[in-house]
Each structure stands twice: as C-alpha cells, then as structure tokens.
C-alpha cells in the first residue's frame, strides 16, 4: 500500500502509517528513480552513438536516408525527454514523502486512491483533478 489514509501531520509522519510502511514506500520510489536514471543514462549513451554514426556516415545520403535519420533522432530525443520527465516525477514523489504530503492530491488535497498509487506511484493528483487539468489544457 503506497498511500496515507489521512492528512499528514508533521514532517514525514503519515497519520496511520508506520515508519516501516513509509520506509517501504521510500524504497519503492527510490528503486523507480534509480531504474529510470539507469535507463536515461543508457538512452543518452545510445543517442550519442547514433549522432556519431550519423556524422561519419552522411555522405551520399538521399532524401529517404536523411528522413530516416531525422525520424530516428526525433524518436531518441523524445525517449530522452520522457525518461527525464518520469525520473523527475519519481524524484518529486520522494520529496513529497519527505515533506509528509505524499499520497494527497495536489489539487483538492484529498487522499489519492491506493489503486491509483499502486499503478502510478508518482501520481500527484486524484483521477478527478487529473481529468480537470487535461480538459483545461486540451
């Protein structure tokens, strides 16, 4: 279970949560952050290799070759952005846990359902507030 059932009182102390549960949540989030950091570092290395190959192998490219390389470069850049964003979300969740606000919606301040946090441990909003944000953005 990754969420506190009540409002947080005091820095890092979730009402209704034992120190062991908080440590378990922290371990899960830290593992997620570390995994994403590893994936990001690998993607950066692959992106650098791709660029080096592209620089040394562009002579004689036709439009199709250039288009393929551009598509690969765009996909690699998108992957890097996504991994960095997910890593930042995990880092933010760890920070919220340290502050004692993890598990509460940043919009309405109600507890985020446990099921949502089990699927997406870095969630900062309940489904209702998330949908409202997306409606306003779209």
- What are the tens digits of pLDDT across the range 8-43? 333 434 445 678 878 888 899 999 999 999 999 999
- Give the domain range for residue 87: 19-57+64-102
Q: How many angstroms separate the CA atoms of 10 and 114, rounded?
A: 21
Inter-residue contact 24 to 133 (CB < 8 Å): no
Number of domains in the chain: 1
Predicted pLDDT of residue 67: 72
Is the predicted pLDDT of residue 2 greater than 80, yes or no?
Answer: no
Tens of pLDDT, residue by residue over 95-105, are 999 888 898 99
Predicted pLDDT of residue 5: 39
Please indicate, yes or no, if residue 47 is contained in any of the structural domains: yes
CA distances from 122 to 36, 51, 57, 98, 125 (A): 12, 32, 41, 14, 9
pLDDT band at 117 (very low <50, low <70, confident <90, very high): confident
Please indicate, yes or no, if residue 35 is contained in any of the structural domains: yes
Q: How many CA atoms lie within 13 A of 43 on its CB side?
A: 19
Please indicate, yes or no, if residue 43 is contained in any of the structural domains: yes
Tens of pLDDT, residue by residue over 40-91, are 999 999 888 877 776 666 656 677 766 777 788 888 899 999 999 999 999 9
């Amino acid at each position: 279970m990754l969420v506190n059932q009540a409002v947080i009182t005091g820095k890092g102390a979730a009402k209704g949560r034992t120190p062991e549960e908080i440590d378990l949540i922290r371990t899960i989030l830290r593992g997620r952050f570390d995994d994403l950091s590893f994936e990001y570092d690998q993607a950066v290395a692959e992106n650098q290799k791709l660029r080096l190959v592209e620089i040394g192998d562009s002579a004689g490219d036709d439009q199709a070759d250039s288009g393929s390389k551009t598509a690969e470069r765009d996909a690699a850049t998108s992957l890097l952005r996504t991994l960095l964003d997910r890593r930042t979300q995990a880092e933010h969740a760890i920070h919220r846990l340290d502050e004692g606000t993890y598990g509460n919606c940043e919009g309405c301040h109600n507890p985020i359902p446990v099921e949502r946090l089990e699927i997406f441990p870095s969630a900062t909003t309940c489904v209702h507030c998330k949908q409202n944000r997306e409606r306003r953005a779209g």
